[in-house]
């Protein structure tokens, strides 16, 4: 937005200051600019949980151990001399592997939610507008004050919620059965009795050593940090600051750039430190930076290059701690030549140098 420049040059006999709300007890021949304090803002960081903490479960399988047992595979019997005993073979069942109960994990389930945060507050303030086609000789009659409001800004943040935590269910695993063969007496011997000893065999089997269990792991919550801009101090306070009258018009600065570049040289930065920073640090005034080129080269390129060079000065001042709201940058290209050296006119290097300039002036808030 182009800022309106109010300049008050006071001379002896100036008798309507009170009626115009101008500075009291002004010095003759002095110039003043009207300063309106800006709204002050601050960035606030806030941590928001976007994923909840939960517990996950891990199943530890059951373990077995192997045992060895001696089993009877043939019973003792008696034998008779004349009629031997007869046998038959049968299968005897046994548990080869005992059954168990396993645990299955039912994972945690999640949902989603969202919340709206105010990231920039509602602001308002006075803005001055220069009326067009105003024929009054009094410049105060050509200015309109508008009260402008800017709505608050909001952002929507989506985050995950825990619906149900992880659980387990029991799963039964059947054991394994097997059989071994055994000979049993079908008919005993008759007559002479002879004792036949029993026979044994060794078998191995797996028995449950430790049952299945679960092991829990805690997963930490995740958070994100959002940044909001909040109004810390309301502006709008008006004051008049005495200023050097020469600073109200375009004042040239010996600022130089690299060829066809907007990069500031070390010497140019020193000029800014010595000429512009003291003014901005001493008084709460605004400054406009105006950059110009000579007529050589493409007109559109010169306009773009001059804007980049003006921006470079503003960016350097911001890096020195000056609020960007107090600065404006305008590139004029070759539209405001100070001599006859326009397109197609043969001029010396010194004449072209006069057009390659950077200027500044103090603006009214």
Whether residue 146 lies inside any domain: the answer is no
Partnered with residue 363 across adjacent β-strands are: 286
Q: How many residues does the chain have?
A: 365
Whether residue 66 lies inside any domain: the answer is yes
Q: Are 94 and 178 in the same domain? A: yes
Q: Are 200 and 255 in the same domain? A: no
Question: Residue for token digits 């994100």?
Answer: 224
Q: Are 179 and 260 in the same domain? A: no
284: domain CATH number? 3.30.1330.60
Whether residue 139 lies inside any domain: the answer is no
13-25 pLDDT tens trace: 334 344 356 666 6
Q: Are 66 and 205 in the same domain? A: yes
> What residue numbers bound the domain in which 336 lies?
244-365
Whether residue 345 lies inside any domain: the answer is yes
What would the DSSP string read from start to end of 120-168?
Answer: E--EEEEEEEEPTT---SSGGGGEEEEEEEE--EEEEEEEEEEEE--EE
Whether residue 173 has pLDDT greater than 90: no
Output the average pLDDT for the chain. 80
And the tokens for 108? 């945690």
Question: Residue for token digits 């960081």?
Answer: 45
213-237 pLDDT tens trace: 888 888 888 888 887 767 776 655 5
Q: How many domains does the chain have?
A: 2
For the ranges 249-263, 275-289, 330-344, which has the lowest average pLDDT?
Answer: 249-263
44-69 pLDDT tens trace: 778 888 788 888 888 889 899 999 98
SS3 39: coil
Residue 339 CA to residue 359 CA, distance in Å, equals: 16
Q: Are 253 and 347 in the same domain? A: yes
Answer for the pair 112, 161: CB distance below 8 angstroms, yes or no: yes
Residue 19 CA to residue 110 CA, distance in Å, equals: 69
Q: Are 274 and 178 in the same domain? A: no
Whether residue 33 lies inside any domain: the answer is no
Answer for the pair 284, 243: CB distance below 8 angstroms, yes or no: no
C-alpha distances (whole Å) from 361 to each of 2, 251, 275, 335 are 13, 6, 12, 18
Partnered with residue 101 across adjacent β-strands are: 172
Whether residue 126 lies inside any domain: the answer is no
pTM for the model stands at 0.41
What would the DSSP string read from start to end of 172-219?
Answer: EE--EEEEEEEEEEEE--BSS-EEE--EEEEEEEEEEEE--EEEEEEE
Residue 338 CA to residue 249 CA, distance in Å, equals: 15
Answer for the pair 264, 313: CB distance below 8 angstroms, yes or no: yes
Q: Are 197 and 334 in the same domain? A: no
Q: Are 205 and 253 in the same domain? A: no
Q: Are 87 and 174 in the same domain? A: yes
Q: Are 272 and 331 in the same domain? A: yes
Q: Are 188 and 283 in the same domain? A: no
Q: Are 325 and 276 in the same domain? A: yes
Residue 2 CA to residue 150 CA, distance in Å, equals: 18
Whether residue 20 lies inside any domain: the answer is no
Partnered with residue 331 across adjacent β-strands are: 291
87-98 pLDDT tens trace: 999 988 988 888
Whether residue 5 lies inside any domain: the answer is no
Whether residue 79 has pLDDT greater than 70: yes
């Amino acid at each position: 937005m182009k800022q309106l420049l109010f300049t008050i040059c006071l001379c002896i006999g100036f008798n309507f200051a009170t009626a115009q709300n101008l500075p009291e007890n002004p010095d003759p021949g002095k110039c003043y600019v009207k300063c309106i304090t800006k709204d002050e803002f601050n960035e606030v960081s806030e941590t928001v949980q976007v994923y909840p903490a939960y517990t996950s479960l891990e199943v530890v399988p059951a373990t077995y151990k192997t045992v060895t047992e001696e089993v009877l595979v043939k019973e003792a019997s008696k034998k008779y001399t004349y009629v031997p005993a007869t046998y038959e073979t049968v299968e005897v069942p046994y548990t080869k592997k005992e059954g168990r109960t396993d645990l299955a994990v039912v994972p945690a389930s999640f949902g989603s939610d969202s919340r709206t945060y105010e990231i920039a507050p509602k602001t308002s303030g006075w803005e001055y507008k220069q009326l067009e086609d105003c024929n009054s000789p009094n410049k105060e009659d050509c200015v309109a004050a508008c009260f402008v409001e800017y709505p608050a800004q909001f952002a929507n943040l989506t985050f995950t919620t825990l619906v149900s935590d992880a659980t387990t269910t029991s799963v039964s695993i059947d054991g394994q059965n097997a059989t071994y063969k055994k000979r049993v007496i079908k008919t005993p011997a008759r007559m002479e009795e002879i004792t036949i000893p029993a026979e044994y065999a060794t078998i191995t089997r797996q028995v449950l050593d430790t049952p299945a269990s679960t092991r829990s792991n805690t997963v930490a919550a995740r958070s994100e940090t959002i940044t909001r801009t909040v109004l810390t101090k309301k502006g709008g306070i008006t004051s008049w600051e005495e200023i050097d009258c020469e600073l109200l018009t375009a004042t040239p600065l010996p600022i130089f750039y690299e060829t066809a570049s907007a990069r500031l040289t070390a010497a140019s930065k020193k000029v800014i430190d010595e000429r512009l920073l003291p003014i901005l640090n001493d008084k709460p005034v605004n400054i406009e930076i105006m950059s110009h080129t000579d007529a050589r080269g493409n007109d559109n390129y010169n306009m773009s290059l001059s804007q980049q060079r003006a921006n470079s000065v503003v960016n350097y001042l911001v890096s020195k701690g000056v609020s960007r709201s107090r600065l404006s940058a305008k590139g004029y290209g070759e539209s405001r030549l100070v001599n006859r050296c326009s397109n197609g006119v043969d001029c010396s290097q010194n004449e072209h140098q006069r057009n390659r300039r950077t200027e500044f002036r103090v603006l009214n808030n």
